[in-house]
A and B are shown apart, each in its own frame.
Chain A
């Protein structure tokens, strides 16, 4: 039987993993006081969960090394906060589950959501939705990592899905007190709908003390007229907040063709829409654009 520490290489990995766990542990208790989180590439949403039309979504992540020497990295998964979940975001991060792996120069490691879903939701009967951080053990190696993510459903007829962008370090987050625009969004009688995700990075934990941020959603027809009262939601800081069927949520009862959602956040954030085709259930990822 193989032991976890059967070679010097594995001992190195184990101790590196332990050191990272200790380092992350130190961040747990003090993150809300403004500590800088490890340099990482963020995948703002990952899932292993059933969709609204009965399909089952999984996540595949390819991590490649474009550097000249091997990179050891950790994949750390965090759950989304929902109404009935424990108050747990990356602000009070739990380092029990970092998955360490090495990628050699030019090589690509592919990780399926089955490898991290337990970190997000241990109960296989429940949906596992959250976000990931890919963190090199040596922060200076962050530029060498390339991360590509696809969330997809596999059916008897094949797969369909969407690309999820990687956010490198603090790039890609809009500063607080500004608005992101999601436009060309759809809702119709065929079942086409738009889901929205709001990701507030862990670096904002110090700003709010880990408390949720009040984020305002405003919805507009394609001609620019607002079509419902603005909706304020409490968004997770240091995590992902999802709003399924956003037009239904803000109160638009009928179709909404080429509509727009404006999202204002008091803290740094990233927002996206996922437009789900009513006929095929295929999602299309739409990144928010700063106004």
Chain B
């Protein structure tokens, strides 16, 4: 039994409505962030997609608002309008299929969750044999590393078999910095030695993507390595370690 689901037409209609009324975002409930999502081709033949599931534990239908934003763009100037919404009946779980299909190839999502409504997300490589994927957490304000704290991503790998990508998501607080701010990314080898360091521009209330940091400003291949990120505003950095052969991604959350 498949139960209720949001079909593609409905999502497109919602996106059209969203475009028609101009832009983001008059949320009224609890705003949560899905820090990464994708719809597009990646390296080594990978085909990335994301799905979102929304469960309503309440006793009345909940309208869940959602907005999709592109990587690399600040959203501080977003106008206040009503976002498209998804009705979720009481007790039901609704899957939002491929929410970036008509949007950016890579980005992040905000959801407006009424009380008693929960969400989860998965980004996956749609391989010919099946899927290889990773869960992506749904973040509340407390899940972001405080300003000035050091967020640590452990167990990074860069080799012929694996690649690591880094993402940094910021909150609305960083809009005070203007359109962007700098985070300091430090790469450490297995012995703790610094193997690379670089400032990374993070769009305020947006998401920054750093492809292959160990290749771009590190010393190349690195196993059992680490990424430290410090920023003057709250951030949520995460990494995706991808097996180059299968395309399987593993989500690495920060510790701070």
Q: Spell out A's residues near B (CB within 8 Å).
A: 60, 62-66, 104-110, 146-148, 150, 152, 155, 157-163, 165-166, 181, 183-184, 190, 220-225, 227, 254-260, 277-280, 282, 284-287, 289, 291
* Contact of A146 with B55 in the complex, beta carbons under 8 Å: no
Question: Counting chain B CB atoms within 10 Å of each CB, which of A104, A108, A286 scores highest?
Answer: A108
User: Which of A60, A107, A221, A286 makes the CB contact (< 8 A) with B135?
Assistant: A286
* Contact of A64 with B226 in the complex, beta carbons under 8 Å: yes
* Contact of B129 with A108 in the complex, beta carbons under 8 Å: no
Residues of B within 8 A of A161 (CB): 248, 250
User: Which of A64, A165, A257 makes the CB contact (< 8 A) with B3?
Assistant: A257
Residues of B within 8 A of A279 (CB): 127, 129-131
Residues of A within 8 A of B179 (CB): none
* Contact of A223 with B190 in the complex, beta carbons under 8 Å: no
* Contact of B248 with A110 in the complex, beta carbons under 8 Å: no
User: Which of A158, A183, A222, A224 makes the CB contact (< 8 A) with B246?
Assistant: A158
* Contact of B1 with A184 in the complex, beta carbons under 8 Å: no
Check B251 for interface membership: any CB of A closer than 8 A.
Answer: yes
* Contact of B130 with A277 in the complex, beta carbons under 8 Å: yes
* Contact of A107 with B192 in the complex, beta carbons under 8 Å: yes
User: Which of B118, B188, B228, B244 makes the CB contact (< 8 A) with A181?
Assistant: B118
* Contact of B129 with A150 in the complex, beta carbons under 8 Å: no
Residues of B within 8 A of A166 (CB): 255
Question: Counting chain A CB atoms within 10 Å of each CB, which of B228, B243, B255 scores highest?
Answer: B255
Main SS of chain A's interface residues? strand
* Contact of B55 with A260 in the complex, beta carbons under 8 Å: yes
A22 to chain B, nearest CB (A): 31
* Contact of B134 with A163 in the complex, beta carbons under 8 Å: yes
Number of A-B contacts (CB under 8 A): 179
In B141-198, the 8 Å CB interface with A consists of 150, 152-155, 161, 188, 190-194
Question: Counting chain A CB atoms within 10 Å of each CB, which of B135, B150, B161, B251 scores highest?
Answer: B135
B85 to chain A, nearest CB (A): 19
User: Which of A165, A277, A286 makes the CB contact (< 8 A) with B131?
Assistant: A277
- Compute how far the CA of A65 lies from the CA of B55 in the bound complex, rounded to whole angstroms: 37
User: Which of A146, A165, A258 makes the CB contact (< 8 A) with B2?
Assistant: A258
Residues of A within 8 A of B133 (CB): 277, 282, 284
Residues of A within 8 A of B152 (CB): 64, 66, 146
Residues of A within 8 A of B118 (CB): 181, 183, 289
* Contact of A159 with B243 in the complex, beta carbons under 8 Å: yes
Residues of B within 8 A of A106 (CB): 188, 191-194, 226
In B42-65, the 8 Å CB interface with A consists of 51, 53, 55, 57
User: Which of B135, B188, B228, B244 makes the CB contact (< 8 A) with A284?
Assistant: B135
- Compute how far the CA of A220 lies from the CA of B92 in the bound complex, rounded to whole angstroms: 9
A103 to chain B, nearest CB (A): 9
Contacts A62-B154, A148-B154, A280-B127 known; A220 to B248 CB distance under 8 Å? no
* Contact of A221 with B155 in the complex, beta carbons under 8 Å: no
- Compute how far the CA of A225 lies from the CA of B244 in the bound complex, rounded to whole angstroms: 41
* Contact of B155 with A222 in the complex, beta carbons under 8 Å: no
- Compute how far the CA of A76 lies from the CA of B198 in the bound complex, rounded to whole angstroms: 37
- Compute how far the CA of A201 lies from the CA of B255 in the bound complex, rounded to whole angstroms: 21
Residues of B within 8 A of A258 (CB): 2-3, 5, 53, 93-95
A186 to chain B, nearest CB (A): 10
User: Which of B2, B116, B131, B250 makes the CB contact (< 8 A) with A280?
Assistant: B131
